[in-house]
Amino acid sequence: MSISDLEHAVDPNLGAADHPPQKSSGWVVFFCFMIGLVGSLIVGWFLFPQWLYSEKHQPIDFNHSIHMDNVSDGCNSCHFFREDGTFSGIPDLSACTDCHQDVIGSDPEEEKFVTEYVAQDKEVQWLSYFRQPDCVFFSHAAHVTGAGMSCESCHGDIGYSTHSKVYQENIISGYSRDIWGYSISRFGKPGEHDGKPMKMNDCAKCHLEETGSKGACFQCHK
């Protein structure tokens, strides 16, 4: 509103008649509205997700599949439970050096691993697709040992992948895209081979379905 508009508004003697009648500009408004709408939908649905995640690559392109063929106890062989019931997560270098003291295959990634990490006794800084914030306590034992769930039911078939997928890091929160899920809208279900999203609501939903209660805060927080 301009100052003159304001004058009109406050002075009843100044009527609309003082201005020439307006030609309808509805189509302009509509057109502009649509530009804004379509533009923002494109931004929101297509550009924003691209901008939100920066892509990182694992230090070593890890081939889960080839390892699965060579171990006896499936995922458990490397991602095992310790005696005290805690879960070991991503293995340390020491777990790898049993086999990979020297190069045993022909994969250039393995050679890189042996020369750059094993030979120098340097831990690999793996990027964890499923790392939760520090406030979260997650008991693998309760789910795997207690409830008898399989690894795949949350992590998908990552164990059969031949290459490490690109790690997409949320540039605001710093967490992996896998936590939220690949569908930015979270509509629909994740693909059969994908991991499940792991936001708090996802946990609560499953808990409600399986145990009849979302659980108390301390069940999953520390």
Residue span binding another protein (CB under 8 A) among the ranges 59-67, 70-78, 132-140, 161-169: 132-140
If one counts every other C-beta atom within 10 angstroms of the C-beta of residue 97, the result is: 14
Site string for another protein, 143-182 (x = CB under 8 A): --xx-----------------------x-xxxx----x--
Buried b (16+ CB within 10 A) or exposed e, 147-174: eeeebbebbbebbeeeebeebbbeeeee
Site string for another protein, 63-102 (x = CB under 8 A): ------------------xxxxxx-xx-------------
Closest CA to 60 of 104, 132, 119, 115: 115
Token pair 């999203």 is found at: 197
Among 141, 149, 204, 206, indicate the residue that binds another protein (CB under 8 A). Answer: 141
Query: Based on CB atoms, which residue is closest to another protein, 36 or 191?
Result: 36
Closest CA to 118 of 109, 129, 128: 109
If one counts every other C-beta atom within 10 angstroms of the C-beta of residue 98, the result is: 7
**Nearest distance, CB of residue 62 and another protein, angstroms:** 20
Contact positions vs another protein (CB under 8 A): 22, 25, 28-41, 43-45, 48-49, 52, 81-86, 88-89, 133-135, 137, 139, 141-142, 145-146, 170, 172-175, 180, 184-186, 216-219, 221-222
